Structure 1
Amino acid sequence: MIIFLSLIMLILLILTIMLSINLLISKKMNKNREKNSPFECGFDPMSNNRLPFSLSFYLISIIFLIFDVEIALILPMTFFTKFYTYYYYINIILIIIILLMGLFIEWKEGALKWIK
């Protein structure tokens, strides 16, 4: 029991010494409003918050998320090579056809054009 308490005291002593050395050595920073604010995608955080957001950027990010989910659905299917049947291939082909139809509709409507 005494060994356990002495070990705890030794750990606390080492932690206290390390913390005090850190506080003595570390640089003191001047508090600045701009340096303490987060940097958000190139937007000035000190300006008006009601700036218009690009709808094209939003649509392309949604399309990216859709195809990202599609990859997350199709990739695990490749690990079940023992169970390949016609039903499996029909499912994968239908998923890809639905996604390609959605992509062509977005392309036809002009949602993929960055500059209109």
Structure 2
Amino acid sequence: MTTLVIVALGISLSLVFLNRIFSPTRPSLEKVSPFECGFSSFHQTRNPFNIYYYLIGLLFLVFDLEILLIYPFALSTTSYGFYIFNLFLFFLTIGFIYEYGKGVLKFKNDQQ
């Protein structure tokens, strides 16, 4: 297994290195300029987005990982697994109530 990883890494790095050496580099204004439907843009093309989308994404990721941690205890048939599952679920619920109380889950429409 170790040999396979070393060989794969060696081949990958050598191909990247050979590409850097032998590829032609001719930078020009057309290559580095943004292309938008065949003409230059008249205004800023990037729109600001609401930061709450990022917060909701982070909260989803955290709760999704917590559910992933709960899964083995949910499948456990012992009483110890049941108690650990309930304790973890209790802390998960407390965290959710805290976030709701802080107003993190309330979506605001203003741009920041």
- TM norm structure 1: 0.49
Name segments (4+ residues, structure 1) moved above 2 Å.
Answer: 32-35, 51-55, 76-81
Letter paired with 2:89 = I
User: Whole-Å Cα distance in 2 between the matches of residues 101 and 80 of structure 1?
Assistant: 23
Query: Contact conserved, 2:99 with 2:105, CA < 8 A, in 1?
Result: yes
Q: 1:53 to 1:107 in 2, by over 3 A?
A: same
Query: Contact conserved, 2:52 with 2:107, CA < 8 A, in 1?
Result: yes
User: Whole-Å Cα distance in 1 between the matches of residues 108 and 91 of structure 2?
Assistant: 27
Question: Of the two, which has the highest radius of gyration?
Answer: 1
Letter paired with 1:33 = F
2:45 paired residue number: 47
The answer to whether 1:105 aligns with 2:98 is yes
Shift of 1:52: 4.3
Question: In structure 2, the residue corresponding to 1:60 is in which secondary structure?
Answer: helix
Question: In structure 1, the residue corresponding to 2:96 is in which secondary structure?
Answer: helix
Equivalent pairs, count: 70
Letter paired with 1:64 = F
Aligned-pair RMSD on alpha carbons?
Answer: 2.5
The answer to whether 1:74 aligns with 2:74 is no
Question: In structure 2, the residue corresponding to 1:33 is in which secondary structure?
Answer: coil
Q: 1:70 to 1:53 in 2, by over 3 A?
A: same
- TM norm structure 2: 0.51
Residue segments in structure 1 that go unaligned for 5+ positions in a row: 1-31, 36-45
Shift of 1:47: 2.5
The answer to whether 1:94 aligns with 2:96 is no
Q: 1:53 to 1:114 in 2, by over 3 A?
A: same
Residue segments in structure 2 that go unaligned for 5+ positions in a row: 1-33, 38-43
Q: 1:97 to 1:80 in 2, by over 3 A?
A: closer
User: Whole-Å Cα distance in 1 between the matches of residues 83 and 61 of structure 2?
Assistant: 24
Letter paired with 2:98 = I
